[in-house]
Structure 1
Amino acid sequence: MLNLRLNYFKINAALLLGGTLLFSACGGSTTEGANSDLSGNIQIDGSSTVYPITEAVAEDFREEAPNVRVTVGVSGTGGGMKKFSRGEIDIVDASRTMNDSEKQLAAENNITFVELPVAYDGLTVVVHPENDWVNDITVAELKKIWEPAAQGTITRWNQIRPEWPDQEIHLYGAGVESGTYDYFTEAIVGESHASRGDYTASEDDNVLVQGVSTDPYALGFFGYAYYDENQDKLKAVPVNDENDSNGQGAILPSLETVKDGSYAPLSRPLYIYVNSRAASRPEVVEFVNFYLDNAAELGEEVGYIPMPAEIYEEQKQKFEQFSSGANATTQQQ
C-alpha cells in the first residue's frame, strides 16, 4: 500500500501547486460497511508537510463515507491558519502551533478551535547524493549558513569548513508561509522568521526535493516524509547538536531517533486544528475520529512517526469533549 500511496502523491504533485486536491464519491456505489448516511463537505488546508498523512486519511475515509467530499488544500501553515482564523475552512493542517496573531484573528471572528497532535516529524537536512564531503553538520554550522547575517556573505562551502570545496552553496528551504520555516528558524537560528532570504524557497516540498536532487552543490531542508519518499535521489545529513544528553555525535533522522528525541533539535509534532462550528457537524466528527484512529498506521505508511497509543486516545477524549460542547452551543443558537 505504501508504494501505491507514494505514487499517488507523485501523480498529484501538479495539483498541489494549484492548491487543492478533491476526494469525492464515485457514482452511487458504496463499499461494504460504509457509512452512507453521512453526507456533506469538509474543507481542509494548510501545511504541505502534514498534507501526505491528511491526504491518506481522506482517501481511506472516502471508502467509509462515500457521500462526504473532503478537499485537502496546500497553502502552507501560515496561509492555512489565515483561512482557518477567518472561518473559511473546517480543519487546518499545521507543522507548528498557532501563533498569537492567528489566535487574535480567530477571536475577532468568533472562531474557537481544538488543537490535536497527529504525528511526529523530523526536519531533514539534505544534499545531493553525489555530495561526498558533507557527512555530518552541526547546529552551529547550520546557523552560520542560515542566519540573516549570512545573506550575501556565507556563499561557499569552504566558508563552513575549510576542507570543503571552494564552490557556491545553493540553498533550498521552506517559504515564509510555511510552519517548517518557522520551526527551522527557531530551532537553528534561535528566533522564528530569522533567516537569510537569498535561497530558493517554496511551500511545496516537492519543489525542494526536485531542486536538491538535481543540484550537486545544493543543501536544503524539509519534512522527513519527503526525504523518505525520495531516498534514491537525496542524501540525508546527520545533525550534531553537540549536546550528548540528546545522543552522542551526529544523528540521522529516523523513526527511532525522532520518537526517542535523540534527533534534536529538529524533531517536532504535527497538528490538525478543528473549528468548533465544524465540530458540531456529524461528518466532521466522524472524520476527525477516523483520523485519530488511523493516524499511527497511515502516518507510518507515508513516512511519519506515530505517537504512543495513549496519546491518540487522549486526543480522542479531548475532541469528544470539544465536539460535545460545540453541539450544545449550536443547539442553543
Structure 2
Amino acid sequence: MKLRKSLQAAGALVLSLSLVVGCSSNNPNAKENGGGLSGKIQIDGSSTVYPVSQAVAEEFMKKNPGVNITVSQSGTGGGFEKWAKQETDLSDASRQIKEEEKKNAEKAGLDPIEVPVAKDGITVVVNKENDFVDKLTVEQLKKIWEPNSKVKTWKDVNPEWPDEPIQLYGPGTSSGTFDYFTEEIVGEEGKSRTDYTQSEDDNTLVQGVTGDKNALGYFGYAYYKENKEKLKAVPIDAGKGAVTPTDETIQSGKYTPLSRPIYVYASKQAMEKEHIKKFMEFYLTEGKELVPKVGFVPLKDEKYQASLKELGIE
C-alpha cells in the first residue's frame, strides 16, 4: 500500500477533485473473488479524514474486487451537502454534524449514524527555518486569527519577535477543521479573519508553509507527521504549560483544546446494503489497524465496538 505516495499526490489536486482508488468491478470473476460482494460506494467530505478512508477503501477493495469505492474531499460541510442530496453513501467529517445539516439529511430520507474512527490533533505549524516561535498561547492564537485582527507581523504577537509579516495559511470555510479551530480558539464557530490563504486541501497548506519562512498555518496532525522534516509543530499553551501534539498527548487529551475525534457518517438506509455494511464492519475492525499508518491516533477498542453495535453489526 502506497499511503505516503497517496498523501503526497493529493497535494497536486484542486478543490473537490475526486479520487477513485482501487480496481474496477468489470472483472467477470470479481464477484467470486470478493466473496459475493459487489457494488459501488461514494464517499466525500473532510480532507482531514480522507487519508484514513482512502487507505481503508484501498485495502477493502483488495479483498473485495467486486466493490468499487470512490473517495473525494470537498470539506466536511461540502460532504454533508452532497450526502443530503444523496450523491454519496458515506460522509467523512472532522467535526460533528450540525443541526441544520442533520435536518437536511433527514429531509432527504436519511437517518444519520455518527461513527468515530480516530483521534486527531489540529496542528499549528511554522516554517522549519523559524527559530523564534517556541510556543503559542491560546490567547496569542486568538489574537492572530480573530476577525479584524490587527496582527500583521510577528512583532505584533510578541515584541521580542522579528518585525516581519506573518503569512497565514488555513482551511476554507467548508472545512470541519476550520469550524473546530475557530470555535475552540476564537470562541465562536466560523468567526475568523479572512485575509489568509485558504484551501480545503491540507496538502496545499503544507506546501504553502514549507515554501514561506514567515508562514504560520494549521491543519490535521497526519499532514504534519507526513511532512515533519519540512515543518515545525508549535506547542500550544492553554493555561497549563505548552504541549506539543504527539500520539500520546492527543490520545490522552493533554493536547488541548485542539485534540478531537474524527468521523464517518453513515445512515440506516446505507447500512441496508450488504457491501456498505461489510465495508463499515471492515473499517472498524481490520481497517482500524491502518489508522496509525496514515498518521492518526486510534480510538480505544471499546469505542470501535460501540460503533459496530450502533451500526447493527454484532
**Structure-2 residue corresponding to 1:285:** 277
Letter in 2 for 1:74: Q
Residues 29 and 122 from structure 1, CA distance in 2 versus in 1: closer, same or farther, beyond 3 angstroms?
A: farther
User: 2:266 corresponds to which letter in structure 1?
Assistant: V
Where do 1:45-60 residues align within 5 Å? 45-60=44-59
Q: How far, CA to CA, are the matches of 1:265 and 1:35 in structure 2?
A: 43
Once the 2 structures are TM-superposed, how far is the Cα of residue 72 of structure 1 from its aligned partner? 0.4
Q: Is the 8 A contact 1:35 1:65 kept in 2?
A: yes
The equivalent residue for 2:231 is 234
CA distance in 2, matches of 1:16, 1:299: 25
Residue 203 of structure 1 aligns with which residue? 200
Q: After superposition, give the CA deviation of every residue in 1:113-169 in whole Å (9 maximum; x if it has no partner).
A: 20100000000000000000101110000000000030xx21111011000000101
- Report the counterpart of residue 251 of structure 1 in structure 2: 243
Distance in 2 (CA, whole Å) between partners of 1:295 and 1:250 is 33
What's the CA shift for 1:16? 6.0
Deviation at 1:24, TM superposition (A): 4.2
Cα shift at 1:276: 2.4
Q: For 2:261, give the aligned amino acid.
A: P
The one-letter code matched in structure 2 to 1:299 is V
Are 2:275 and 1:275 aligned?
no
In structure 2, the partner of 1:308 is 300
1:274-304 deviation per Cα after TM superposition (whole angstroms, max 9, x unaligned): 1222211000000000001134310100000
- Within the candidate set 9, 15, 26, 2:7 is matched to 9
Distance 1:192 1:133, change over 3 A: same
1:296–1:305 contact (8 Å) kept in structure 2? no
Task: Supply the AA of the counterpart residue of 2:270.
Answer: A
1:149 paired residue number:
148
Which structure 2 segments of 5+ residues have no match?
Answer: none
Aligned counterparts of 2:286 and 2:121: Cα–Cα separation in 1: 20
* Alpha-carbon distance in structure 2 between the residues aligned to 1:277 and 1:286: 14
Does the CA-based 8 Å contact 1:123-1:221 persist in structure 2? yes
**Structure 2: how far apart are the matches of 1:29 and 1:236?**
49
Contact 1:44 1:89 in 2 (8 A): yes
Matched residue count: 312
Shift of 1:28: 3.5
* Counterparts of 2:13 and 2:211, CA distance in 1: 22
Structure 2 residue 85 is matched with structure 1 residue 100: no
Percent sequence identity over aligned pairs:
48
When the two structures are superposed, what TM-score results if normalisation uses the length of structure 2?
Answer: 0.95
Q: State whether residues 30 and 36 of structure 1, in contact with CA within 8 Å, keep that contact through their aligned partners in structure 2.
A: no
SS in structure 1 at match of 2:312:
helix
Higher helix share: 1
Mean CA deviation greater in 82-91 or 69-78: 82-91
CA distance in 1, matches of 2:28, 2:156: 62
The structural deviation recorded for 1:100 is 1.3
Mapping 1:104-143, distance limit 5 Å: 104-143=103-142
Q: Deviations over 1:88-115 (max 9, x none)?
A: 2100000000001111211222221201
